[in-house]
Amino acid sequence: MKLRNEAPAKQADEKTPWVERETLVEASPDEVWEALTDEDRLEEWLAPDVELDPTEGGEIAVRDGDDERFGTVETVEEAERFAFTWSRPGEGESFVEFTIEALPGGSRVTVVETPTRSAPRDTAAGSTAMAAGGWGPRLARLQRSMRFALVA
């Protein structure tokens, strides 16, 4: 897994911190895609309560206890790339992008989260620091859920 202070395309400016994490899973890109875009599968690893319309412009709502985030799906490239913006009520927005890369015997899943231009400067670093701690355990749960996914 990685943590970088570099800049992806949708960042606030060159000094805005961002988070990148990746994991390898023993699943095809199509299986990973389902885990990223199906509400029931998302509830296995992302949060206990997820609502998602996995189309560009669709809504996403993620609830984990008192932590709630709401956003909009930005990019849908089946089995390759899924991106959305989200925010907690009263906080700045961040851009989250998942990419899926096919590998022999599985897939590499990479997530990058960065504050958008709408994120207040004073909360951007704090939000990204919180994201840094959150994606590692979530991707570990994704990896476990892929390993034990039911085959139809």
Instruction: Determine how many CB atoms are found less than 10 A away from the CB of residue 120.
Output: 12
User: Terminus-to-terminus CA distance in the chain, angstroms?
Assistant: 31
Domain ranges (residues) in the chain: 19-147
Predicted local confidence at residue 134, as pLDDT: 85
19-147 has which fold? Answer: Alpha-D-Glucose-1,6-Bisphosphate; Chain A, domain 4 (3.30.530)
Could you tell me the strand order of the sheet in which 59-64 lies?
Answer: 19-25, 106-115, 94-103, 81-87, 67-77, 59-64, 49-52
pLDDT, one tens digit per residue, over 76-111 is 999 999 999 999 998 889 999 999 999 999 999 999
pLDDT, one tens digit per residue, over 109-135 is 999 999 987 655 554 444 444 455 689
What is the spatial distance between Cα 19 and Cα 4, in angstroms, rounded to a whole number? 6
Angle (deg, nearest 10), helices 121-147 and 29-37: 130
The reported pTM is 0.81
% of the chain at pLDDT higher than 90: 64
What is the spatial distance between Cα 104 and Cα 108, in angstroms, rounded to a whole number? 10
What is the spatial distance between Cα 37 and Cα 148, in angstroms, rounded to a whole number? 18
Quick check: 50 pLDDT over 90?
A: yes
Predicted local confidence at residue 2, as pLDDT: 36
Residue with tokens 């299986």: 31
